[in-house]
Structure 1
Amino acid sequence: MRFHILVFLGALTVAQAQVIEQTQPLSGGSPGHFSTETSDTLNTPFVDDFSYRIDKPSPGLWSDQDVWVNDAMPLFQNSIGVATFDGCNGYGKPYQPGNTATNGISDQLTSQYINLQGATDVWLSFQYQRAGRGEVPSSSDSLVVSFYSPADSTWTQVWGEKGTGNPDAFKTAMIPVLGNQFLKKGFRFRLSTYGARGGAYDVWNVDYVQLDKDRNSGDSIVTEPAFARPHPLIIGNGPYTSWPWWLSMSNTIANRPNNLTFTYRRLGTVPSGGWSLNLGQYRWEENGILIQQQTAVPVITTTQHDQDLTFDVGVPAAALGTLNGATTVKTKVWFDGSAAGTRQNDTVYGALHLDNYLALDDGTAERAYGIENVTGSRVAQKFNTGG
């Protein structure tokens, strides 16, 4: 959460990206990708909602690491964690730094090999969103899906959506896997974006990827409970999300909230009577020492589905008392009950670091700002450190 000031000199121009009009084979991905032998195929179902704690795609499911797995870029997602596609590689570097005039394939997300031998009614589905909190893809930018044929080792584009110049809500794509050339051992699929390769431009967010047999065009409903937002700030002080521990405001109990509010969703078809969920279990540690753990919580049953719901977790009375040095708070909040689904999206984690610096945000950069066409320009940031 350390705050950095970035000074950008020169032009900051968003480039227009290539228009994708027709189906065409796609070339291979960026260098340095993981590789898997065809004999090491996965079986269906293939499911990923990107709710794990790392910021890279799971190598057990995906063969490349271009996209960014995060909670910072989406808006109003159904579950924590999405895969964000833009013009930066897996290390956060532009594919072609400083070149906003070159457009083409930017981020790619390629599945490992999958065994579809003998499978019928195979469909690929996923949720996608233009922009979210990122830069909006224009009508000349696109998100496309390609299938790999083990029979002749070729990729064929089978689906695509263009940008609109406006952000939007998550939508669902349903794509049938048609053709004997695909229904074999060693099948793969790939999501790619076409856009500017000079930075974090033309952003698309993808969630809830599922490939399975015995599906149909209406089989797009995700049915499970899940956290819909990341862990809220453990504590904030005015505009700051972190500050030096020795400042007077660090020792002021008045800055500590009584409760933290968490957002979750009950997704999909409403079961008879509703799911009974144990909401609000948590663990609170400071510098590795357990302050409090709570597992005896109310059981909440409701038939309200596909909308944001909330519950509160009380902040321990002993939390963040008088500080004697750098302090790290770590929290874990989870729920369980009669519905399971993807268990990793039933848990969120929080952290607060009070050390020797001030931070104004959550540590992720959704946009970049700078001064263009001014030689010797500078940017200054003011910090108020009074109690």
Structure 2
Amino acid sequence: MHQWLTIFLLIFLGGWSAQGQLLTPLNSAPPHVAGGKGPGRSDLTPQPLDGETLVLPFFDDFASGEGGPDSRRWLPGGNVNVTNRLAANPPTIFAATFDGLQANGQPYGSANTTGPTDTLTSKAIALSSFQPEDSLYLSFYWQAGGLVDAPDFSGSMLYYLQLEFRDASGTWSPVWSQKGAGRSTNFAPVMVALKESRYFYDGFQFRWVSSGSRNGLRDVWHLDYVYLDRNRRLGQLQTTDAAFTQRLPSLLRRYTAMPIWQFLENPGNEVRSEVGASFNNLSNLPAAISWRAYSRNLTTAAVDTFLRGSAPVSAGASQPVAGSPSVPFLSRHTQPHVLETVLFLNTREPNFYTRYNDTLRRETSLQDFYAYDDGSAETGFSFPSSNAVQLAYQFELSKPDRIKTVRIYFTGTNTPGTELFLRLWADDNGQPARQPLHEQRFTVPQTVGLNNWLDIVLERQVEVQGRFFVGYRQPTGGTFVNVGFDLNENANGKLFAMNGTAAWQAVPDLGGAVLIRPVMAGTLTAVEEESLTQAKPLLYPNPTTSGSFYLQQGYDQVELYSPQGQSLQVWGKVPPTQALQVQASLPAGIYLVKARKGDQLRTAKLILLK
């Protein structure tokens, strides 16, 4: 559907009424973004070859990995993308996606243009030795929309997916088509018989063509489990195959990535109690299947197997498998690293080309940043308003830390050079505090930097503890900002918004996660803490009746905070004994002074008397 998927916040009062967040289709995307790895391409060929002509059976469930279709089966240049991120509940992991984007991630045409989009064409197949009596069927599963924009409805053939056969004369003839209905669907099976003699020659080909919007991830179709063979009967959709049908979840319970030092503070609380997935026995016979799962440190290559099992699985049955990752193994590695979790089946399937769907992989970063997302954006999130809008994303620490950088994914629908204000907030009863801990101006990058992460390095590292919030402020004037949104993970209840001067409100669950990541610097070292503990008093005079004070040493930056954590004043490059004057309007009370020099931070209470 071309209309933006809008959630109106009519339940809120004041500035929230008639305003809403938008999930908008991507107008462009990075080519072949890896949101989840497949098992990797094997050196084995999918079936015997006779030059460039394939022989039966022809099978592809697209499970060999993210990117373009397998060049051993399909002709290049059709702009179809294979991914595990956009289809909803495919028959097996991964599916081929048809949309309004080329393989390089750029749209075919400008906005509001409609016409032919992607094509998926098989290589030539040798069929001269077969007859219509050999019962050849081509079967496949199709889906409209899935997790993303569904094809629009039209009385004419504007939005469609169509299957065509090529005869010996080179003529392509449609044999099946599906028009857009303006809504997403489940995967549906189709079987098409090859009954006409004109198709039984060496060089037969089939292809799918799509039509719809030529501008973005719109009017999307998905294709899975393509199977052409002889001696089939109507309704026999699968071959002998056991296959995973879903992605692996994050190894972590709360996040998809987190700093290694935060993880090690309480690893037993951070690791998911069970990690696994379900697989289906797609054949019409029971099968004895075994499985195994392990974690591997990609830096040290250390491996730990945390799951082994086996069971007889009935024909057509689904089997969940899960195990508990070893916390002692995971907490043994103290340096930043990436963990790979692998779950695979031993199916003893006779056809090796069905084995790609027997393996799942998932990477978990234990480095220096927090994330709720998997690194890929399937759509864009925005909050258009005539008021100044603030968006805040909640994170929670295991121990105090410092933020050094904020990473935000800006989609291609943004206007380069748009001015925004990065903000960090402390916690106030589960919501962002009224005043930020830090604000910093930045601009949306130029076009070449869109559809990618922007690292905003803080002018100063900001100390945080417990819950904290990271986000940005949109100035007034109808500024449009579009941030990547991951539809395969969920950060429900973590995003807050303030529209104008209204109160903070939790954003309703949108079924995904915004691509915003705080990058942490770590806490002060023990040596730093000891030197600061033994240091002389920071402030003189203290208490102060005039509001003036000085520091005996020079500092790169001095900052005055209210007891609630609100930044009140900042002085940069303060030399020794320079007088610092607090604002005359501040009432008597106790304030907090933070003085930073390099990586060292000193904090002291300032008592103001009047």
With structure 1 as the length reference, what TM-score do the two structures score? 0.79
Residues 1:79 and 2:92 aligned together: yes
Return 5+ residue gaps in structure 2 as ranges. Answer: 1-23, 28-48, 399-610
Residue identity matched to 1:163: G
Instruction: Please give the residue correspondences for 1:212-361 in structure 2 after superposition, counting only pairs within 5 Å.
Output: 212-237=229-254, 240-246=255-261, 248-253=262-267, 254-269=269-284, 271=285, 274-279=286-291, 281-286=292-297, 287-293=299-305, 297-303=308-314, 305-321=315-331, 323-337=333-347, 339=349, 342-361=354-373
Residue identity matched to 2:121: T
In structure 2, what is the Cα distance between the partners aligned to 1:158 and 1:377? 54
Which of 45, 57, 63 lines up with 2:57 in the alignment? 45
Residue 174 of structure 1 is matched in structure 2 by: 191
Report the alpha carbon displacement of residue 307 of structure 1 after superposing the two structures with TM.
Answer: 5.0
Residue identity matched to 1:368: G
Report the alpha carbon displacement of residue 43 of structure 1 after superposing the two structures with TM.
Answer: 0.6
Which of 113, 116, 138 lines up with 2:124 in the alignment? 113
In structure 1, what is the Cα distance between the partners aligned to 2:87 and 2:124? 28
Q: Percent identity?
A: 25
Residue 102 of structure 1 is matched in structure 2 by: 113
TM-superposition CA deviations, 1:232-257 (whole Å, max 9, x none): 211142xx3113334x2454211112
Residue 146 of structure 1 is matched in structure 2 by: 164
* Contact 1:111–1:189 (Cα < 8 Å) also in 2: yes
Instruction: After superposing the two structures, state which structure 1 stretch, 42-51 or 324-333, moved more.
Output: 324-333
Return 5+ residue gaps in structure 1 as ranges. Answer: 1-11, 16-36
In structure 2, what is the Cα distance between the partners aligned to 1:243 and 1:277? 35
Change in Cα spacing, 1:379 to 1:127, as seen in structure 2 (3 Å) is: farther
In structure 2, what is the Cα distance between the partners aligned to 1:381 and 1:155? 54
Which of 352, 356, 370 lines up with 2:382 in the alignment? 370
In structure 1, what is the Cα distance between the partners aligned to 2:108 and 2:145? 19
SS in structure 2 opposite 1:345?
helix
TM-superposition CA deviations, 1:1-59 (whole Å, max 9, x none): xxxxxxxxxxx6999xxxxxxxxxxxxxxxxxxxxx99520111110011112322110
Which of 148, 173, 196 lines up with 1:156 in the alignment? 173
* Contact 2:289–2:313 (Cα < 8 Å) also in 1: no
In structure 2, what is the Cα distance between the partners aligned to 1:14 and 1:103? 16
Residue identity matched to 2:108: Y
Residue identity matched to 2:148: G
RMSD between superposed Cα atoms in Å = 2.8
Residue 30 of structure 1 is matched in structure 2 by: none
In structure 1, what is the Cα distance between the partners aligned to 2:74 and 2:228? 13
Change in Cα spacing, 1:372 to 1:298, as seen in structure 2 (3 Å) is: closer
Report the alpha carbon displacement of residue 362 of structure 1 after superposing the two structures with TM.
Answer: 1.6
**Higher relative contact order (CA closer than 8 Å, sequence separation 6+):** 1
TM-superposition CA deviations, 1:306-361 (whole Å, max 9, x none): 45431112202333216533211012211214655511111111211122333221
Which of 197, 204, 228 lines up with 1:187 in the alignment? 204
In structure 2, what is the Cα distance between the partners aligned to 1:38 and 1:276? 35
* Contact 2:25–2:380 (Cα < 8 Å) also in 1: no
Aligned residues: 342
* Contact 2:263–2:366 (Cα < 8 Å) also in 1: no
Relative to its length, the structure with more strand (as a share) is: 2
* Contact 1:329–1:352 (Cα < 8 Å) also in 2: yes
* Contact 1:130–1:166 (Cα < 8 Å) also in 2: yes
SS in structure 1 opposite 2:380?
coil
Report the alpha carbon displacement of residue 186 of structure 1 after superposing the two structures with TM.
Answer: 1.2
* Contact 1:251–1:322 (Cα < 8 Å) also in 2: no
Instruction: Please give the residue correspondences for 1:193-212 in structure 2 after superposition, counting only pairs within 5 Å.
Output: 193-212=210-229
Change in Cα spacing, 1:174 to 1:249, as seen in structure 2 (3 Å) is: same
Change in Cα spacing, 1:39 to 1:325, as seen in structure 2 (3 Å) is: closer
* Contact 1:13–1:100 (Cα < 8 Å) also in 2: no
Residue 6 of structure 1 is matched in structure 2 by: none
With structure 2 as the length reference, what TM-score do the two structures score? 0.52
Report the alpha carbon displacement of residue 64 of structure 1 after superposing the two structures with TM.
Answer: 2.3
Residue identity matched to 1:132: G
Change in Cα spacing, 1:311 to 1:177, as seen in structure 2 (3 Å) is: same
Residue 595 of structure 2 is matched in structure 1 by: none
Report the alpha carbon displacement of residue 177 of structure 1 after superposing the two structures with TM.
Answer: 2.6
Change in Cα spacing, 1:38 to 1:380, as seen in structure 2 (3 Å) is: farther
Change in Cα spacing, 1:189 to 1:293, as seen in structure 2 (3 Å) is: same
* Contact 2:306–2:324 (Cα < 8 Å) also in 1: no
Residue identity matched to 2:90: Q
Report the alpha carbon displacement of residue 380 of structure 1 after superposing the two structures with TM.
Answer: 5.0
Change in Cα spacing, 1:283 to 1:249, as seen in structure 2 (3 Å) is: closer
Report the alpha carbon displacement of residue 115 of structure 1 after superposing the two structures with TM.
Answer: 1.0
Report the alpha carbon displacement of residue 300 of structure 1 after superposing the two structures with TM.
Answer: 1.0
Report the alpha carbon displacement of residue 95 of structure 1 after superposing the two structures with TM.
Answer: 1.5
In structure 2, what is the Cα distance between the partners aligned to 1:314 and 1:13? 37
TM-superposition CA deviations, 1:129-173 (whole Å, max 9, x none): 111111111223211011122x32232222101122222221111
